[in-house]
Amino acid sequence: MTMLVIFDCDGVLVDSERPANRLLARYLNSHGVDIGIDETEATFVGLSLTTCAEIALKKYGVRLPDDFVPEIRRLTAEVLAREVTAIDGVRQAVGGLPGPTCVASSGEVAKMQLTLGTTGILDLFEGRLYSATMVKRGKPAPDLFLFAAEQCGASPETCVVVEDSPFGLQAARAAGMQALGFTGGSHRNHDRDRQMLLDAGADQIFQDMIDLPSIVKAM
């Protein structure tokens, strides 16, 4: 069966989570949330900024400024333009896949264009970038993955999602799709995070992107 491979962007195609979360932690500290980088990543990686603001209020009791979303977008874009790198082996992996691909990210399209463009891999996915801003509910709801599949003309049972975050894996399972957990980003540690991603619903975990074609072909 030819599978549609739906890639998450941050932490899967581009190594953006560490610099972005260092910035987010500093911003939260300056607004009264006492939080370090590890807890920031554990709490917020994989979520939209709107959801992050909701969690800041619910979990930490801090109401972030009204301009939180545009301000963090602007600051993050500055940092990522300087610091983002591609995950090793993405071009080779995509080239080795037997079927179509797309990207489905909690970030907005402009952020995907920035990170994928800066790292020289945007041409692999041009015209097939889907954002949580296009649907009602972000991850862990299934909306974004279902929307991406529909846009690509695929049914959920012929889709496999590649994700680095528990919320993304939960979203993939809720969408009725197969799911692979990826631990190759610099914010992930394969031995530390493997079980967490399995618990979130991953069928398999892998840490080297060039292994993806053989994993997908075996599904």
Query: Least distance to Mg ion from the beta carbon of 165, Å?
Result: 5
- Cβ-closest position to Mg ion: 11
Specify the residue, 46 or 156, whose C-beta has the smaller distance to Mg ion: 46
Query: Least distance to Mg ion from the beta carbon of 13, Å?
Result: 9
Query: Least distance to Mg ion from the beta carbon of 28, Å?
Result: 19
Specify the residue, 53 or 163, whose C-beta has the smaller distance to Mg ion: 163
DSSP state of 218: T
Q: Which residues pair with 178 in a beta bridge?
A: 160
Residue ranges of alpha helices (H) inside the chain are 17-30, 37-44, 49-60, 68-83, 90-96, 109-118, 143-151, 166-174, 190-199, 212-217
Query: Least distance to Mg ion from the beta carbon of 173, Å?
Result: 16
Task: List interacting residues with Mg ion (CB under 5 A).
Answer: 8, 10-11, 164-165
Specify the residue, 8 or 193, whose C-beta has the smaller distance to Mg ion: 8
Query: Least distance to Mg ion from the beta carbon of 10, Å?
Result: 4
Specify the residue, 3 or 103, whose C-beta has the smaller distance to Mg ion: 103
Specify the residue, 111 or 216, whose C-beta has the smaller distance to Mg ion: 111
> What is the residue type of 30?
S
Cβ atoms < 10 Å from Cβ of 30: 8
Q: What angle do CA 164, 170, 171 make, to 5 degrees?
A: 95
CB within 8 A of 53, min separation 6: which ones?
64, 68, 69
Which of 2, 7, 1 minimizes the C-alpha distance to 145? 7
DSSP string, 70-118: HHHHHHHHHHHHHH--BPTTHHHHHHH-SS-EEEEESS-HHHHHHHHHH
Query: Least distance to Mg ion from the beta carbon of 9, Å?
Result: 7
Specify the residue, 51 or 165, whose C-beta has the smaller distance to Mg ion: 165
